[in-house]
A and B are shown apart, each in its own frame.
Chain A
Amino acid sequence: MTIRFNNLSVDFDERFQLEQINWQIEPQQHWVITGTNGAGKSALAAVLAGAGDIISGTAEGIPAKVGLVSFEAQAELIAEELKKDDADIMDVIAEGTSVRDIIGQVSDNQPLIDDLITRFKLEYLLERAFRKLSTGESRKVMLIRALASEPDMLVLDEPFDGLDVDTLAMLQDYLSSLIETVPMVMVLNRFDEFPDFITHIAYMDHGRLQLSIDKQDEQAYEELYKLLHLKTTELQVPGADPETAIPALNPEDPLVRLNSINIKYADKAIIEDLSWTINPGQHWQLSGPNGSGKTGLLSLITGDHPQCYVNDIFVFGFQRGSGESIWQIKQYIGYVSTALQWEYRVSISLRNVIISGFYDSIGLYSKYTDRQRDIADQWLAVLGMTDRADQPFNKLSYGDQRLLLIARAMVKHPPLLILDEPCLGLDDMNRQLVLSLIEKICADSETTVLYVNHHPEDRIKGIDQYLALEKTQ
């Protein structure tokens, strides 16, 4: 029978909420739920075992008998055992329930129980009190309980965690032997642990089911791999290159000061009389509908707009039009936009694309240093693209190109990072990837971020200054 979650929101003791989950599990499907810590993976799995309070939406077709293995279930069972102990006020040493009885609570299929005990090699602690087992041992007991209960569905939250190699192999084999009869949902963090029989993957983030992927869809599967890599890697955003440090700015000065600026084409004004100051450390979001002049405004800052010479613009210590060159301006800016990606039609390697960020060039025309090369390689590691360092940029997928261009923009740790609609044209998965990278950058560096988006409600964590442009008539 199909399990169907429709717009399901579930509360877990007000500690955590799942929001608007839409999910469908067909018979014969085996799912992995994945995502980062705190994304809601375990919560989603637990809903299948009846946990949580439904706030809205519906959950249909959940089987009656679900075998659940999770740290929470394990902790709960141990807590129950300890409670029994507390409740025992008589002056005897309470042993608690034995492993044999704990298993017996859920099944009387003795041949199956015996078989499982043999497989897990647990004969030696059958008489031991469950609550006295080590974490690894009690985890095995939990697995046996779930399997011995002959469930309609198995929900296994990180079942392989803490298992020794032999047991791991045994368990995977055993689970494979069940796939025709028992649908399974597993919570797993590591791609290399995904059993072969998995048919679908659910990706959770911020309490929402962000993506459902059919494993047959190789491209989506590969992208998910990258996403998880980026989300879970402990690699830090690589440092700047001390040898090619950008000349220091006066900390008293704003990064950008536009004074009553105008942009006009023929006689049509795109922007009229706008003043705007960006101080160091102030993250801004710039929004406005198409044609409201967002890109024009940005290009006044970057020096790409010819009318920057007829406006009162102070950027990075330079009053525009006072004999400065645009390369003196650009060295302070990291810039990513769809237009840049379109212009970046060069067949240079991924590594060189990142290095080109040190020179603010599209393509690489300068002799780079070994240190710059090292830094580029560190970025590739963060992006999970190390093995493709020498491949040509123009053969990369659209989403990967965007990621790489963000790394290129950040490689020199610019005082100002301008992200002009960084998710434009990206699918959900790549959107997630890009946002994850931006979050990582915001967390790890001192760069001031200017984020441009035409939906003012689409906000990024850490940005608290807003400028909304309107279309001039």
Chain B
Amino acid sequence: MSNNYFNTLPLREQLAQLAKCRFMHLNEFDDGVNALKGKKIVVIGCGAQGLAQGMNLRDSGCDVSYTLRAAAIEEKRQSWKSATENGFTVGTYEELIPTADVVLNLTPDKQHTPVVEAVMPLMKEGACLSYSHGFNIVEEGMQIRPDLTVIMVAPKCPGSEVRNEYVRGFGVPTLIAVHEDNDPKGEGLALAKAYAVGTGGHKAGVLMSSFVAEVKSDLMGEQTILCGMLQTGSILCFNKMVEKGIDAGYASKLIQYGWETITEALKYGGVTNMLDRLSNPAKIKAFDLSEELKVIMRPLYNKHQDDIMTGAFSSGMMEDWANDDAKLLGWRAETAETAFEKTPAGDVEISEQEFFDNGILMVAMVKAGVELAFETMTAAGIIADSAYYESLHETPLIANTIARKKLYEMNATISDTAEYGCYLYNHACLPLLEDFMKGIDTDVIGKGLDVADNGVDNARLIEVNAALRAHPVEAIGSELRGYMSDMKKIV
């Protein structure tokens, strides 16, 4: 049934699509939401992402209503409650889709095929169908009626952030794309831009990409560094600390809030700044550990990227969908049972600097994960801008989710697709790092280095600093962060 769209493209076209990514300038959005004015927007699905985007669009002056499956309305499910309590008109597909000029499909990936098949015949001639993730088009090869315009507007944050940042007067970085096979009137880009303005994304930076580049890079980032690495790292670091006699409450807190604190440094100044927060001996230690980790984990990153490119990942996941999510739900239950998850953060004060000093291994893991994900993506033809956003840029967001809710809730917050990939990574990575972890002690996780003074060898320090700064993720990172500060984003 499903026919992987990417695999139908010739290599030349695959590479061209993967390489599509351009940071758009603020003045490209001068037309505001005008392209959507007077148009009727109907959102399918009212989960976190659907509700957040709809509220933002409405607050930007757009006409937004929600359509849900008849059963969800009859049974007054949560999605129905969310939409009605927020003052939106809610109707069935039959009631609302025929009136819509723009249909936003914001249902979970696994529902895309049945949803799109159900709404497509109801859609007006020449209307627009929008996605927030290109999985359905790229991995499942969904064919859309040729008169319809197909676009993607993908805010690179969970729904709660999409709404919160808008309310603050800002937005979240957003990726937009037009499905070139479905742009009969050539209005796809104008609609996508107006939509990005309506959700506030233009203030935080918009990347013009392609469906293909979005899917292949998004999947890679979320499975590996973003969710997978932090999940695996949390479990390994916690267990190691407890094994070495560190108070479990302290260990739990160091990890739960540590990812957020150290990746905050990452957000501001890249991997370099994150490591610069360490003392010189600790920096060299973290560097060495991360080099070791990169060697061990590189085959795993390659495998994830390869499976994503060939479609093996998505077909595996789709099998699980067909099997009522048996694997996903089983793995989710396992996550709830991990010692880290079950140990509440202790009531101890940990200073901002202490998270770095006592979390050298965590810093090394983030560095290794970010660099590997970036290197693997770019080696696969994804261009640096995309690779940066899908690796380094998003890591603090997931870290923030862990700080608020630990792993189980983090996994529940991200998409099922991300969660499925996260578990795949975690299950492969835990045994892979078993030997490495045997050599780990509390000097790099839990207590900090026990050194008499902070002296280091000059030559070695220079070498490490140079290596940090020379990594390609740092070059593109400082360029992209530069755009952001040009826009006077003062975090």
Q: Given that A323-B37, A326-B59, A359-B169 are contacting pairs, would A364 and B490 also be in contact in the complex, using a CB cutoff of 8 Å?
A: yes
Query: Are A365's CB and B488's CB within 8 A?
Result: yes
Instruction: Select which of B37, B61, B168, B204 is within 8 A of A362 by beta carbon.
Output: B168
Q: How far is the CA of A326 from the CA of B168 in the complex (A)?
A: 12
Q: Confirm or deny: B55 has a beta carbon within 8 angstroms of a beta carbon on chain A.
A: yes
Q: How far is the CA of A326 from the CA of B55 in the complex (A)?
A: 11
Query: Are A361's CB and B168's CB within 8 A?
Result: yes
Q: How far is the CA of A93 from the CA of B77 in the complex (A)?
A: 102
B30 to chain A, nearest CB (A): 15
Q: How far is the CA of A360 from the CA of B200 in the complex (A)?
A: 14
**From residue 42 to 94 of chain A, which have CB atoms closer than 8 A to chain B?**
none
Q: Residue-by-residue, is A291-310 near B (CB-CB < 8 Å gives 1, otherwise 0)?
A: 00000000000011011111
Q: Residue-by-residue, is B81-112 near A (CB-CB < 8 Å gives 1, otherwise 0)?
A: 10001111000000000000000000000000
Instruction: Select which of B60, B61, B168, B491 is within 8 A of A343 by beta carbon.
Output: B168
Q: Residue-by-residue, is A308-321 near B (CB-CB < 8 Å gives 1, otherwise 0)?
A: 11100000000000
Instruction: Select which of A303, A309, A324, A352 is within 8 A of B490 by beta carbon.
Output: A352
Residues of B within 8 A of A356 (CB): 169
How would you classify the secondary structure of chain A's contact residues: helix, strand, loop or mixed?
loop
| New contact pairs (11) apart from A361-B170, A362-B168, A364-B488, CB-CB < 8 Å | A303-B59, A304-B167, A306-B55, A307-B86, A307-B87, A325-B33, A325-B60, A343-B168, A361-B168, A365-B169, A366-B488
Q: Confirm or deny: A265 has a beta carbon within 8 angstroms of a beta carbon on chain B.
A: yes
Q: Confirm or deny: B296 has a beta carbon within 8 angstroms of a beta carbon on chain A.
A: no
Q: How far is the CA of A61 from the CA of B10 in the complex (A)?
A: 100
Q: Residue-by-residue, is B16-57 near A (CB-CB < 8 Å gives 1, otherwise 0)?
A: 000000000000000001000100000000000000000100
**From residue 248 to 264 of chain A, which have CB atoms closer than 8 A to chain B?**
264
Q: Confirm or deny: A165 has a beta carbon within 8 angstroms of a beta carbon on chain B.
A: no
User: B59's closest neighbor in chain A, by CB?
Assistant: A326
Q: How far is the CA of A368 from the CA of B491 in the complex (A)?
A: 15
Using C-beta atoms within 8 Å of the partner chain, give the interface range for chain A.
Answer: 20 to 34
Using C-beta atoms within 8 Å of the partner chain, give the interface range for chain B.
Answer: 20 to 34
Q: How far is the CA of A359 from the CA of B488 in the complex (A)?
A: 13
Q: Given that A325-B61, A346-B491 are contacting pairs, would A363 and B168 also be in contact in the complex, using a CB cutoff of 8 Å?
A: yes
B467 to chain A, nearest CB (A): 30
Q: Confirm or deny: B339 has a beta carbon within 8 angstroms of a beta carbon on chain A.
A: no
Residues of A within 8 A of B170 (CB): 361-363, 365
Q: How far is the CA of A304 from the CA of B33 in the complex (A)?
A: 20
Q: Confirm or deny: B179 has a beta carbon within 8 angstroms of a beta carbon on chain A.
A: no
Q: Confirm or deny: B489 has a beta carbon within 8 angstroms of a beta carbon on chain A.
A: yes
B177 to chain A, nearest CB (A): 24
Q: Residue-by-residue, is A267-309 near B (CB-CB < 8 Å gives 1, otherwise 0)?
A: 0000000000000000000000000000000000001101111
Q: Confirm or deny: B58 has a beta carbon within 8 angstroms of a beta carbon on chain A.
A: yes
**From residue 474 to 491 of chain B, which have CB atoms closer than 8 A to chain A?**
487-491
Query: Are B58's CB and A309's CB within 8 A?
Result: yes
User: B62's closest neighbor in chain A, by CB?
Assistant: A323
Query: Are B85's CB and A266's CB within 8 A?
Result: yes
Q: How far is the CA of A310 from the CA of B85 in the complex (A)?
A: 10
User: A343's closest neighbor in chain B, by CB?
Assistant: B168
Q: How far is the CA of A368 from the CA of B170 in the complex (A)?
A: 15
Residues of A within 8 A of B283 (CB): none
